[in-house]
A = this chain, B = another copy of it.
Amino acid sequence: MAKKPATTNLKNAFYAQSGGVTAVINASACGVIETARKHSDKIGKVYAGQNGIIGALQEELIDTSKETPRAIAGLRHTPSGAFGSCRYKLKSLEHNRAEYERLIEVFKAHNIGYFFYNGGGDSADTCLKISQLSKSMRYPIQAIHVPKTVDNDLPITDNCPGFGSVAKYIAVSTREASFDVASMCATSTKVFVLEVMGRHAGWIAAAGGLATDENCDLPIIILFPEVKFNQTKFLALVKEKVKQYGYVSIVVSEGVQDRSGKFLADAGTTDAFGHAQLGGVAPVIANLVRAKLGYKYHWAVADYLQRSARHIASKNDVDQAYAMGKAAVELAIAGENSVMPTVVRKSNKPYKWTIGKAKLSRVANVEKMMPANFISKDGFGITQKCRDYLAPLIKGEDYPPYKNGMPVYVTLKKKLVKKKLKDEFIVK
């Protein structure tokens, strides 16, 4: 099947990964490719953009039919973007129509009739525009968006594949570090600060709140980007928790701002080499605590570790990531266009979900923030409502295979399709 040449009757598909990668975006790729292979009577080959949409613009298309079924299956447990991703955002149609026209040309040259774009809000917008332009250029393309983002900020869908796994990583790490600090706090570190991703929305920081629950009482303070940093209230709470528990763990979003709207991470400092130093916010918070309260501290910055931690991925997240890829292909086969499959939550206990769909016009460029009733009144924690929402998303373990103590992640051959267009198009 993998070696069957595409006939002219069958339209090929194009798949690309967009924006920051996650622990499970390849599971969506796996869902797209495996499902397309199952429907080889409807879809020809699946070409993947090398380094995302740039691959389409530069006509650098990876022929996924050259990859073995085993390698494709391995994508399900491999973090990162196996085909390469990029943060390249297409300009508006008015500002750079040439880019969109180039995409359609490339798709035409390679007989591509399906466009699967795996990303966040920006890529949903690109997806929508391609669908619109293909109509006006009279080369029909069915454009389906596959949701992905650790930030969990896409609208309509209950949650975004990628988020559940980073949430699990943060919740587990915060619990483990809190146990560590608890054992030493009588004579040593009393304040532990963990910096997490989330410039605009506090979803990831909120997951730190799951470290403590009815069976495991831990003192956790969360600093959300949605809540302006109040130094006085914050320090009072740190003091209170240390008095009560002997220590406290602080989960701080990289996007926390002071009252004037300035990122706390923009410390304006220079380092030993005299270079301006950017971020992180964790040392800033830690130093503040020590200067004002005198507590010994430690701090950590999880950075890429949090979004690539496939070894502690959430099973529900992996399942949903795969399901979104699969559903995207099924929507395409059913004749849909300009849509995105979504996760629809049916119930919390037991957790039940199904697949819905959303029009891209309602998804593109809309950012879903934390609802106000997910943040506790004092601004430093999560509510039961938030807990009920987050809990199922981190549920289940889905361990990758190991060899010699190390997880076995796949690297693809990434064989490029021969270019057909004469014009070069270089993305700067």
Contact = CB atoms under 8 A, between A and B. Distances in A.
Interface stretch (A99-107, A118-126, A180-188, A338-346): A180-188
Interface stretch (A65-73, A84-92, A219-227, A372-380): A84-92
Interface in A117-146: none
A216 B408 CA distance: 9
Contact of A267 (B20, B272, B311, B402): B272
A175 B310 CA distance: 10
A399 interface: yes
Contact of A305 (B177, B276, B278, B408): B177
Nearest to A218: B411
Interface string A257-292: 000000010111111110111111011100110110
A412 to B, nearest CB: 11
B303 A299 contact: yes
Contact of A407 (B54, B172, B186): B172
A192 B304 CA distance: 9
A300 interface: yes
Contacts of A181: 304
A289 to B, nearest CB: 10
Contacts of A392: 405
A175 B77 CA distance: 14
B405 A177 contact: no
Given A80-B182, A308-B180, A404-B395, A272 B277 contact: no
Given A183-B84, A288-B275, A397-B399, A305 B311 contact: no
Interface residues of A, number: 93
Given A79-B180, A216-B411, A186 B51 contact: yes
A152 interface: no
A266 B271 CA distance: 9
Given A176-B311, A183-B21, A271 B299 contact: no
A28 interface: no
Contact of A187 (B51, B394, B396): B51
A302 B84 CA distance: 26
Given A266-B272, A301-B301, A20 B184 contact: yes
A302 B392 CA distance: 27
Contact of A271 (B284, B303, B307, B308): B284
A86 B304 contact: no
A389 interface: no
A391 interface: yes
A91 to B, nearest CB: 15
A186 B287 contact: no
A421 B346 CA distance: 62
A35 interface: no
A159 interface: no
A148 to B, nearest CB: 13
B407 A311 contact: no
A406 B213 contact: yes
A234 interface: no
Interface in A283-342: 283-284, 287-288, 290-291, 298-305, 307-312, 314
8 contacts: A23-B176, A51-B187, A80-B182, A84-B184, A175-B406, A216-B411, A269-B277, A277-B283
- Of all A-B residue pairs in the complex, the 6 with the closest CB atoms, nearest first, are A81-B183, A300-B303, A80-B179, A394-B405, A176-B308, A395-B405
